[in-house]
Amino acid sequence: MRGRLFLPGIPIVALVLTAVWADTVRRPPLLELGELASAAEPGEELSGGATTVVDAGRNSFGRSPMNLDRARWPDFHHGKKVFARDWSDPRKTPVPVGPLFSAASCMTCHVKDGRGRPPASPAEPPVSIVFQLSASGGRGPHPSYGEQLDFHGVGGSAGEGSVTVDYDERSDEFASGESFSLLQPRYTFKHLARGPLGEGVPFSPRVAPVNFGLGLLEAIPEEALLALADPDDRDQDGISGRPNQVEDVAERRTKLGRFGWKANQPSVLQQSAHALFADMGLTTELFPGQAGSAPEVTPEDLERLLFYTRLVAVPRRRNWDAPPVLRGKAVFRAIGCSGCHVSTPFETGDVPGFPELSRQRIFPYTDLLLHDLGAGLADGRPDGQASGQEWRTPPLWGIGLVEAVNGHTRFLHDGRARNLEEAILWHGGEAAPTQERYVRLPREDREALLAFLNSL
Ligand code: HEC
Ligand code: HEC
Ligand SMILES: [Ca+2]
Ligand SMILES: [Ca+2]
């Protein structure tokens, strides 16, 4: 053995050179990050400003805000009860869900105030994912099934139908040689109560998003978001976010859409009242259904529900100042993720009645604008001004805790991505150049970026 060290130099040099050469072919260089790779910014771990809670455990998505006055704790807990209430249980509610509904409580879909997922196998029925429908051609509700396929009928009777999900798998590789694979979902509608959906009927599978930080998102001044819009891509960076403009039913005017996967709802009030109506078959003052009858959900219950839904707190980041995470944040900016998932903070405005949410410095990592993410993710179903290829940039705060809270890592609007990396790899359209840069990164930089996402 020992003698080998003293072999004549030439073959060893050749061997080393071959190894180095082979290594550079398969190993793209680390990104030159320069001043991007800097120290943590003061306060950046407090994603939700003073509302932020320090909890990285299984219940970290359903907490009251840190700055909630003690006197308001009971209101928060009453609100949580309404959010968790099973409206199909006659002991808990005088009004029944239905006659048709997708789920009997908000919590069924927004599991532990976290996110839903698609069925794990074709044998499992869909629970925390909905299928929104349109008329053929894409405008207006479906003539037989309305805006959404309701899986259940009241009292255990049959709903409108069900859906099974299968996947086609395809593989590709990173520039550095490792392979990856992505799952393309395929849906089959079954047991349809009123006949087939029909030709050319677009549908949109959507998992329930997380239920925290929503009052803060609502409090970002409209001007701050509109300032990020660049519909004609004047700065020529390939990214052209634009606002969805939707009807605010209560205010009777058009307003910036902020909520839902296509930003089709302007406020927590309208999104929640719409959920009661569309997901659960319950009327409110805002969505009264048949004219004349009193709303099934009392104004007091709706008030409590909104108090809760606005205030549920954002969890604090973990390891935000660890060197690989700081590197990952710099990679995130350098390859263009922050072109949509804005990495600089917003300052919320004044929210009447909610001092907790007012003037907070927050890091949601979204512009709440619509972006064309390409044909691969398209549902082909227009929604407000959003096209079939456009989606709202989802907030990324708390995303690293989904596994701890929900026990899965299914991402994107239909939950097709099995982890954060697959979510990135599905990005196309305006995000295609960024996605390509990600594929060309060396493994260390990809890992740093994922460590950063997991720290959010
Ligand atoms: C059947 C499943 C289901 C039920 C039940 C449900 N939701 Fe949702 N929720 C969703 C889905 C799916 C979305 C995304 C909707 C979209 O993209 O249009 C959503 C979106 C939301 C949003 C917007 C979140 C965001 O980040 O944009 C809020 C707020 C919300 N729901 C509140 C509620 C409340 C309150 C209830 C109970 C009254 C409720 N939801 C019941 C599935 C559900
Ligand atoms: C052009 C705008 C744009 C760029 C650039 C962009 N994203 Fe996204 N991102 C989106 C939109 C829109 C979605 C929602 C797509 C969907 O659900 O179909 C999304 C979804 C995601 C999700 C899944 C979120 C969830 O709740 O399921 C993650 C994670 C993510 N992006 C991370 C990144 C990273 C990391 C980068 C950089 C490599 C990046 N994005 C670049 C717009 C963008
Ligand atoms: Ca329906
Ligand atoms: Ca641009």
pLDDT digits (tens, 9 = 90+) for 124-153: 999 999 999 999 988 899 999 999 999 999
Nearest C-alpha neighbor of 417 from the set 181, 137, 104: 181
What is the model's pLDDT at position 21?
A: 47
Q: For residue 276, which atom of ligand 1 is closest to its CA?
A: 38
User: Which residues are in the CB-under-5-Å shell of ion ligand 4?
Assistant: 230, 233, 235, 237, 239
What would the mean pLDDT of 397-405 be, rounded to a whole number? 98
State residue 37's pLDDT score: 67
Mean pLDDT of the chain: 92
User: Is the model's pLDDT at 209 over the cut of 60?
Assistant: yes
Nearest CA to ligand 1 atom 33: 272
Residue 31 scores a pLDDT above 90: no
Span 421-442, mean pLDDT? 98
> In this predicted structure, what is the pLDDT of residue 214?
98
Burial of 153 (0-12, 13-18, 19+ CB in 10 A): middle
Assess whether the C-beta atom of 337 lies below 6 angstroms from ligand 2. yes
Question: How much is the pLDDT for 61?
Answer: 98
Structure tokens at 124: 């499992």
CB contact burial 254-287 (16+ within 10 A = b; e otherwise)? ebbbbbbbbbbbbbbbbbbbbbbbbbbbbbbebb
Longest alpha-carbon distance in the chain: 98
From the CB of 317, is ligand 2 less than 6 Å away? Answer: no
Q: What local confidence, expressed as pLDDT, does residue 82 receive?
A: 96
| 40-68 pLDDT, tens digit each | 899 999 999 999 999 999 999 999 999 99
Asked if pLDDT for residue 13 goes beyond 60, the answer is: no
Pocket test residue of 110, 151, 383 for ligand 1, highest count of atoms within 8 A of CB: 110
Distance CA 340, CA 347 (A): 17
Question: Quick one: pLDDT at residue 291?
Answer: 65
The whole model's pTM is what?
0.94
Ligand 2 midpoint to CA 238 (Å): 15
pLDDT at 11: 45
| Residue-wise pLDDT tens digits, 288-301 | 887 678 889 999 99
Indicate if the pLDDT at residue 259 is higher than 70.
yes
How far away, in angstroms, is 281 Cα from ligand 2 center? Answer: 32
Q: What is the mean pLDDT of residues 98-125?
A: 94
Average pLDDT over residues 400-407: 98
Confidence of residue 1 (pLDDT cuts 50, 70, 90): very low
Question: How confident is the model at residue 3, as a pLDDT?
Answer: 37
From the list 83, 80, 47, the residue with the least C-alpha distance to 63 is 80
Choose the residue to mutate in 95, 107, 130, 270 for probing ligand 1, maximizing ligand atoms within 8 Å of C-beta: 130
**In the chain, % of residues over pLDDT 70:** 93
Please state the rounded mean pLDDT for residues 71-76. Answer: 98
Is any atom of ligand 1 closer than 6 Å to the C-beta of 150?
no
Determine which residue's CA is closest to atom 3 belonging to ligand 1: 109
